[in-house]
């Protein structure tokens, strides 16, 4: 067949991540590979009540087409909550509802970038963002961090050297590293960004899931030029099965995104949006988030404790104050893919780190997830990984 696919589709590399995930999907495998929220955290009974309320109310409107910006009361609720938690000053006019954060990534790249444009990402960065941006065939410049956020001198150098169209970062409990940017680093970052006038995606899927310390302000609070586009999601605090997320940005961007959304899929499902908003209105979101924090905190603690107890001291790791992930660094001579193969034989799995880099190499890292296994399983799994690590370090 003479069928020709588009350039971006032809350029999608076959990664072996899919193959790894299939291997991992065995029923007796302890998997720290995914990033799924725990199913026991979903408020299923409350959601049932919320859907009843929606369908007993104005069902016709809930089941009809809706505005591409999203359901207005939900946009308002999101703005208010962001203002309270991350100190923004948004109204509904700053919010557009998306089919999860992943769509936000695709939309923002389509909004700002053409083929060949340069995008700055953290080193390492979120895999789903890298693959989304690849659909626009952009080039990446990776900026390393120092545990407190991106190294600002490196950022400045990159902005002076490249014509940068977009910067993508995760400030809270980053995926994959679990690292959180300090308040000072946020301020310094925005000073440089505002100087160069480059739009920024502040991706914040886990921000509410903070297990210690206080919430830090959004980058927008340091932004004098309205450059920051924040991505949020209900996937970690409500349920991913609704595919509900949002973009928060200045109304000029939102206006353009509205046109994009209209042409991409008309709108996010009005029914799902109303169920979510009805849930927010009728139940205690804060209490629900607290219960998730309680669940995940004890899992994080169990994993950190087991790592400290069992892992050889040559393997270092990050300390996440929230979110879902711990990032481990192996001595350079070890390759995390080789370690994974041996781990899979012991029925335990994680994600090798290479996938989170846009540059080659970076073979001695791996990511651990702790949100969807109980404490005993976490301890058991970490011990199994530790055994493999010790054998390889003999």
Of 170-199, which residues contact a second copy (CB under 8 A)?
Answer: 197, 199
**Nearer of residues 252 and 376 to a second copy, judged by Cβ:** 252
Would you count residue 259 as binding a second copy (CB under 8 A)?
yes
Would you count residue 165 as binding a second copy (CB under 8 A)?
yes
Buried b (16+ CB within 10 A) or exposed e, 198-214: bbbbbbbbbbbbbbeee
Smallest gap from Cβ 120 to a second copy, in A, equals 15
Smallest gap from Cβ 45 to a second copy, in A, equals 8
Q: Are strands 30-31 and 348-349 parallel, antiparallel or unpaired?
A: parallel
Smallest gap from Cβ 134 to a second copy, in A, equals 7
- Residue 66: what are its φ and ψ, rounded to 5°? -135, 175
Considering only residues 82 to 141 of the shown chain, the ones binding a second copy according to CB under 8 A are 98-100, 102-103, 106, 110-115, 128, 131-132, 134-136
**Nearer of residues 29 and 63 to a second copy, judged by Cβ:** 63
Distance CA 277, CA 78 (A): 9
Would you count residue 60 as binding a second copy (CB under 8 A)?
yes
Angle at 372 between CA 370 and CA 377, to 5 degrees: 75
Distance CA 153, CA 189 (A): 10
Would you count residue 265 as binding a second copy (CB under 8 A)?
yes
Considering only residues 292 to 331 of the shown chain, the ones binding a second copy according to CB under 8 A are none
Distance CA 250, CA 111 (A): 13
Smallest gap from Cβ 326 to a second copy, in A, equals 21
Would you count residue 64 as binding a second copy (CB under 8 A)?
yes
Residue 71 has what DSSP assignment?
-
372 cis-preceded (ω within 30 degrees of 0): no
Q: Residues near 3 by Cβ (< 8 Å), separated by ≥ 6?
A: none
Considering only residues 199 to 238 of the shown chain, the ones binding a second copy according to CB under 8 A are 199, 225-227, 235
Would you count residue 266 as binding a second copy (CB under 8 A)?
yes
Would you count residue 7 as binding a second copy (CB under 8 A)?
yes
**Nearer of residues 59 and 153 to a second copy, judged by Cβ:** 59
Would you count residue 62 as binding a second copy (CB under 8 A)?
yes
Under 8 Å between Cβ of 336 and 352:
yes
């Amino acid at each position: 067949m003479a069928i020709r696919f588009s350039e971006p589709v032809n350029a999608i590399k076959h990664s072996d991540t899919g193959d790894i995930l299939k291997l991992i999907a065995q029923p007796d495998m302890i998997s720290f590979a995914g990033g799924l929220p725990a199913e026991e955290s979903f408020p299923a009974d409350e959601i049932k009540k919320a859907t009843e309320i929606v369908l007993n109310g104005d069902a016709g409107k809930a089941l009809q087409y809706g505005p591409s910006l999203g359901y207005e009361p939900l946009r308002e609720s999101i703005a208010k909550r962001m203002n309270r938690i991350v100190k923004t000053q948004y109204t509904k006019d700053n919010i557009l509802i998306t089919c999860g954060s992943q769509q936000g990534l695709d939309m923002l790249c389509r909004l700002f970038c053409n083929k060949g444009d340069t995008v700055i990402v953290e080193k390492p960065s979120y895999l789903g963002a890298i693959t989304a941006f690849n659909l626009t065939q952009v080039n990446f410049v990776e900026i390393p961090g120092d545990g407190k956020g991106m190294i600002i001198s490196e950022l400045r150098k990159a902005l002076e050297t490249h014509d940068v169209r977009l910067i993508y970062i995760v400030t809270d409990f980053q995926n994959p590293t679990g690292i959180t940017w300090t308040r000072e680093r946020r301020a310094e970052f925005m000073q440089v960004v505002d100087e160069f006038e480059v739009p920024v995606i502040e991706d914040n899927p886990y921000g509410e899931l903070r297990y210690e310390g206080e919430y830090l302000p959004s980058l927008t609070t340091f932004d004098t030029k309205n450059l920051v586009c924040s991505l949020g999601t209900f996937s970690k605090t409500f349920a991913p099965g609704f595919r509900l997320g949002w973009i928060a940005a200045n109304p000029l961007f939102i206006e353009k995104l509205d046109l994009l959304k209209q042409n991409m899929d008309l709108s996010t499902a009005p029914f799902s949006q109303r169920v979510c908003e009805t849930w927010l209105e009728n139940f205690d979101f804060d209490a629900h988030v607290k219960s998730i924090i309680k669940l995940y905190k004890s899992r994080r603690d169990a994993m950190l404790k087991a790592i400290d107890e069992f892992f050889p001291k040559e393997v270092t790791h990050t300390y996440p104050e929230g979110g879902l992930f711990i990032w481990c660094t192996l001595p350079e001579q070890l390759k995390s893919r080789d370690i994974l193969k041996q781990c899979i034989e012991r029925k335990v799995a994680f994600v090798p780190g290479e996938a989170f880099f846009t540059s080659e190499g970076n073979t001695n890292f791996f990511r651990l997830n702790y949100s969807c296994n109980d404490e005993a399983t976490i301890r058991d799994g970490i011990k199994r990984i530790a055994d493999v690590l010790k054998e390889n370090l003999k």
